[in-house]
Structure 1
Amino acid sequence: MIQLDRSNTAIVGLDLYTVAERHQLGLVDAIKEQIQYWKSNSYFVSASVHQSLDGVRVFTYSQWQPKFDHRSLQRSAVFGEFFPLDSLQLEVTASRSVTTEVEIAVGDRITHLAEFRMVPSNQPEMVKRTTAELDRAMSNSPGLISASFHCSLDGTRMFNYGQWESKEAFEAILKQPGFNPDKPYWEGLARNEFHLYHVVHTETAE
Structure 2
Amino acid sequence: MPFITPDNGSLTVFNLFDTTSPDAQKILLDTMEGIIDGANYPGWRSSTLHGGIDQPCAANYIQWRSVADLQERYEGENFKHNTVPHFSELTTSVHLLKTEVVSTRLHAALEHIEIGPHRDDFTVIVIMGVDPSDQARLVELFTEPDEWMQEVPGFRSNSILRGLDGDYVVNYAQWDDRESYERFHKLPEEDRPAHSRAMRAAARPLLTSRSSNTYEVVYSRSAADQPAGDR
Compute the TM-score of the two structures, normalised by the length of structure 1. Answer: 0.89
- Provide the residue aligned with 1:40 in structure 2: 40
1:57-68 paired onto structure 2 within 5 Å: 57-68=57-68
What is the distance in 1 between the residues matched to 2:66 and 2:148? 30
- Provide the residue aligned with 2:229 in structure 1: none
- Provide the residue aligned with 2:30 in structure 1: 29
- Provide the residue aligned with 1:4 in structure 2: 4
Q: What residue ranges of structure 1 are gaps of 5+ in the alignment?
A: none
Percent identical pairs in the alignment equals 24
Give the match's secondary structure for 1:47: strand
- Provide the residue aligned with 2:94 in structure 1: 85
Q: Which runs of 4+ in 1 moved over 6 A?
A: none
1:185-196 paired onto structure 2 within 5 Å: 186-190=203-207, 191-196=209-214
The total of aligned residue pairs comes to 202
Task: Give the superposition deviation at 1:119.
Answer: 1.2
Task: Give the superposition deviation at 1:54.
Answer: 2.1
**2:215 aligned to which of 161, 176, 197:** 197
- Residue by residue over 1:148-173, the C-alpha shift from the partner in whole angstroms, topping out at 9 and shown as x without a partner, is 00011011111110011111111111
- Residue by residue over 1:45-78, the C-alpha shift from the partner in whole angstroms, topping out at 9 and shown as x without a partner, is 1110111112412110010113435355226132
- Residue by residue over 1:76-115, the C-alpha shift from the partner in whole angstroms, topping out at 9 and shown as x without a partner, is 1320112231001100111011222211011432001011
What is the distance in 2 between the residues matched to 1:52 and 1:126? 26
What is the distance in 1 between the residues matched to 2:62 and 2:201? 29
Task: Looking at secondary structure, tell me which structure has more helix per residue.
Answer: 2
- Provide the residue aligned with 1:112 in structure 2: 124
Task: Give the superposition deviation at 1:5.
Answer: 2.5
8 Å CA contact retained: 1:30, 1:78: no
- Provide the residue aligned with 1:130 in structure 2: 142
Compute the TM-score of the two structures, normalised by the length of structure 2. Answer: 0.80
What is the distance in 2 between the residues matched to 1:185 and 1:3? 30
Partner letter of residue 206 of structure 2? L
What is the distance in 2 between the residues matched to 1:192 and 1:136? 25
